[in-house]
């Protein structure tokens, strides 16, 4: 399949299983995180569009990888959220197969953004994913979301908390889509993952 990345960011296609993953020569970055953490919202923010990636108040419904162009040279992937309490077992297994298949096929070239809710910090599901990233040697950046819900002191403590747990060398961007904090920084890092 020929993928052309130019003009404005646009939706490309959705992929439901790892064997239908497209091949291409662009940088690929993917947004991971718990349901409702703000993945689709942040993709819309970096793309400067309101409804490119679908956002919702009912988490955990879609189990598709959604691909978008991010001109001049990147592809963005919106990965289905995890950790939604009522998800049926079959859907959970499907998600795991999709995720592992995706990471296996992309391991050498992918940069991941792991979104964490600033109020909740790292949870067991996030830790599981970090281990999978490490297993496949996927480089990743922590993206703290919805920081508008914290006061300034709490915002400062966030970086320290992450550094305490993962060392100073890890990559962290603190963001709020609502107050447009950290969005340009994130955008720049997508150009140069
Ligand atoms: N206050 C605040 N709310 C936000 C922010 N970003 C997203 N939200 C809200 O959080 C909710 C979930 O956002 P989504 O972008 O749909 O989250 P998601 O991670 O894509 O969720 P799933 O696709 O279900 O996994 C929506 O109601 C958003 O409006 C933010 O920076 N600040
Ligand atoms: Mg979403």
Where residue 17 sits, what CATH number does that domain have? 3.40.50.300
The answer as to whether 139 is a domain residue is yes
Give dist(CA 93, CA 72) in Å, integer: 35
User: Within a domain: residue 61?
Assistant: yes
Distance (Å, rounded) from C-alpha 132 to C-alpha 172?
Answer: 19
Three-state SS at 111: strand
- Residue 57 pLDDT class (50, 70, 90 cuts): low
Helix, strand or coil for residue 7? coil
Q: Provide the domain count of the chain.
A: 1
| pLDDT above 60 for 60 | no
- Ligand 1 contact, 83 CB (< 6 A): no
Give the pLDDT score at 109.
84
Pick from 164, 160, 118: nearest CA to 143: 118
Distance 2 CA to ligand 1 centre (A): 32
The pair of structure tokens assigned to 46 is 């970096």
pLDDT greater than 90 at residue 187? yes
Q: Considering the entire predicted model, what is its pTM?
A: 0.94
Domain contains 2? no
Which ligand has an atom closest to residue 82 CA? 1
3 lies in a domain? no
In the three-class reduction of DSSP (H, G, I as helix; E, B as strand; rest coil), residue 52 is classed as: coil
Tell me: the pLDDT tens digits for 100-129?
999 998 877 899 999 999 998 889 999 999
Does residue 21 lie in a domain region? Answer: yes
Q: Is the CB of 17 under 6 A from ligand 1?
A: no
The domain of 25 spans 11-191
Structure tokens at 111: 């940069």
From the CA of 78, how far away is ligand 1's center (Å)?
A: 13
pLDDT on residue 161: 83
Q: At what angle do helices 124-135 and 89-106 cross, to 10 degrees?
A: 30
């Amino acid at each position: 399949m020929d993928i052309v990345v130019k003009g404005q960011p646009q939706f490309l296609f959705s992929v439901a299983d790892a064997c239908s993953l497209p091949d291409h020569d662009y940088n690929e970055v993917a947004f991971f995180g718990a349901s409702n953490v703000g993945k689709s919202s942040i993709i819309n923010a970096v793309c400067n569009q309101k409804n490119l990636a679908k956002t919702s108040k009912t988490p955990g419904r879609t189990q598709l990888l959604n691909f978008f162009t991010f001109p001049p040279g990147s592809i963005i992937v919106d990965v289905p959220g995890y950790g939604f309490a009522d998800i049926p077992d079959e859907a959970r297994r499907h998600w795991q197969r999709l995720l592992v298949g995706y990471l296996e096929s992309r391991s050498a070239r992918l940069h991941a953004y792991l979104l964490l809710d600033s109020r909740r910090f790292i949870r067991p599901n996030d830790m599981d994913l970090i281990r999978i990233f490490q297993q496949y040697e996927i480089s990743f950046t922590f993206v703290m979301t919805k920081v508008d819900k914290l006061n300034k002191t709490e915002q400062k403590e966030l970086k320290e908390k992450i550094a305490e747990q993962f060392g100073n060398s890890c990559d962290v961007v603190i963001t709020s889509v609502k107050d447009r904090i950290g969005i340009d920084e994130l955008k720049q890092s997508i150009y140069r993952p």
